[in-house]
Chains A and B, each alone.
Chain A
């Protein structure tokens, strides 16, 4: 969708929920990066749903002693192999594999997914291979890096751990390569920057991790040339627990992906990296005392400057538990304790208004001191001509219940025209009522 179109009215139409109903709080539903599968965490297990049949495909049980809070799919596997990592309140992360051994060929899984779940393939095919242990308390979030090389886990113990599979190709020998302990509170969520064919930056490699915390901040982490992971930025502005963070999936220009964060303070914010070429000489704002003896050129590469460049229009009255940024349309959806699903779009502003006008929300943010007083002036020119607009709100999306998660997801169900399957997007919400519900956008 072009960002030059006028604001379009957006309506959410509920589709029949996934079967079966889970009847108990479900935390999160994670779409597979390429296959028509969705993993929903609830109680001590994960139910994998088929996006073709909108019914259960398989489940992961008996691996955790306490609730499974989060799950992540290993990317870049052949289509007959599946791998999930689960993060649990029991302080461990489980690595599970599912292999379609009986039928060998790569297309059998596909057949099963499109033709409906076969009874004999349930449950027994998921095997818990490795338990990643080390955190002192509940794991809140797990995330595979885009290449599948790394996994990040985070916990109430205030730390983020990065794990790497150092074994031979099929061996699953996972080692901790970094323990990042700079947050002052529970780390609620971790997210890897998508692989957008970026090269490294300065002395850092291309992998970038963001973490959101109970300490109200977001931190950005990179690996330096010595293999050491370091915090390169602290994003301050939220006035409550930052429940989550997501990277911009597909930036329109070659600029660095922006960050989306959402919080108990009922705001959704967007943060933008101040790219190096814009940086003035003699960067006096980098006041890192211990680096005093290092020349400016090098000092600049150590830290990044991230600014809050937008606060999305107010749509929620309680904690925002989840938000999602569409790779296809660039739209953002958010949900939370108030049971509202809100959808926002980034719209072009009339050329006449682009010079001085800021949105009401940006103005508020400026008054709060959260956003640099720079919109509409030189340094953030590309953003100044765009504004986030609230396109729709859907109250009571799960009746009276809280909604814990929302995600954009491709459609593969029979209600979608065959030529649009795998292309058309829907939203999927996951609630305290144990319902996992797809929504058509019209």
Chain B
């Protein structure tokens, strides 16, 4: 099958936004390069559960952490930038399909939040070319990844970044449709593609 975009622009892994001392288990095989090019958005003591914190033991890092530390944009980025592109052997972060400035959390992360308070995570994705037919699949992968990883009070909205895709309204509407997303996950072929994309996430 011909790829929609045979020559995408690829970012060096070391240029991707991350935190210092990123936990090695998050992106096996790539983590060794991640210590360079740090974007330090918050002091380390506030960093989210996927990072090493001295007082948290290694096996209680994910689920237990949600109620302790607020989830910020960097953590959302970490969850989805490692998803593999469905047609290139590269991650969505490397292809700049997902970008840290295009992730928005409302209301802003705060440690005091009630676990019942709805929190919107809006991810605007940038398909590699304007007619990329896989934009829907990529968006679906991001929505599924975040819905699996985030607590139930999070509402995940994935949209195509304005002006980057020729059919963005249509794709946005599909990605926002709970019933379509649920049905898509019961489609064995599509589920196979999604599972493969998410294999590179830990």
Contact = CB atoms under 8 A, between A and B. Distances in A.
Interface of A: 25, 66-67, 69, 89, 138, 140, 156, 186, 188, 214, 241, 264, 317-319, 321, 337-339, 395-396, 399-402, 432-433
Count chain B CB atoms within 10 A of each CB in A214, A395, A400 and give the residue with the most.
A400
Nearest to A401: B152
7 nearest CB pairs, A to B: A400-B153, A400-B152, A396-B116, A66-B186, A89-B183, A138-B183, A400-B116
Task: With a 10 A CB-CB cut-off, give which of B118, B151, B179, B182 has the most chain A CB atoms.
Answer: B179
B179 A25 contact: no
Contacts of A317: 118
B177 interface: yes
Contacts of B186: 66-67, 89
Given A318-B155, A400-B152, A433-B152, A25 B173 contact: no
A181 to B, nearest CB: 19
Contacts of A399: 116, 152-153
Contact of B151 (A156, A321, A400, A402): A400
A433 B153 CA distance: 11
B42 interface: no
A366 to B, nearest CB: 26
A337 B154 CA distance: 11
A262 to B, nearest CB: 14
A25 B179 CA distance: 12
Nearest to B116: A396
Does more than half of chain A's interface fall in helix, strand or loop, or is it mixed?
A: loop
A432 B152 contact: yes
A156 B180 contact: yes
A191 to B, nearest CB: 17
B178 interface: yes
B183 A339 contact: no
B115 interface: yes
Contacts of A338: 118
B176 interface: yes
28 contacts: A25-B182, A66-B183, A66-B186, A69-B179, A89-B182, A89-B183, A89-B186, A138-B183, A140-B179, A156-B180, A156-B183, A186-B179, A188-B179, A241-B173, A264-B176, A264-B177, A317-B118, A319-B178, A337-B155, A337-B178, A339-B118, A400-B115, A400-B116, A400-B118, A400-B151, A400-B153, A401-B152, A402-B178
A188 B153 CA distance: 25
A66 B182 CA distance: 10
B55 to A, nearest CB: 27
Contacts of B151: 400
B182 A214 contact: no
A402 B176 CA distance: 14
Interface in B150-201: 151-153, 155, 173, 176-180, 182-183, 186
B105 to A, nearest CB: 15
A214 B178 CA distance: 12
Contacts of B176: 264, 319
Interface string B113-133: 001101000000000000000
Contacts of B177: 186, 214, 241, 264
A278 B114 CA distance: 54
Nearest to A43: B186
Nearest to B154: A400
Given A25-B182, A400-B115, A433-B152, 9 more contacts: A67-B186, A138-B183, A140-B179, A156-B183, A186-B180, A214-B177, A264-B176, A337-B155, A399-B153
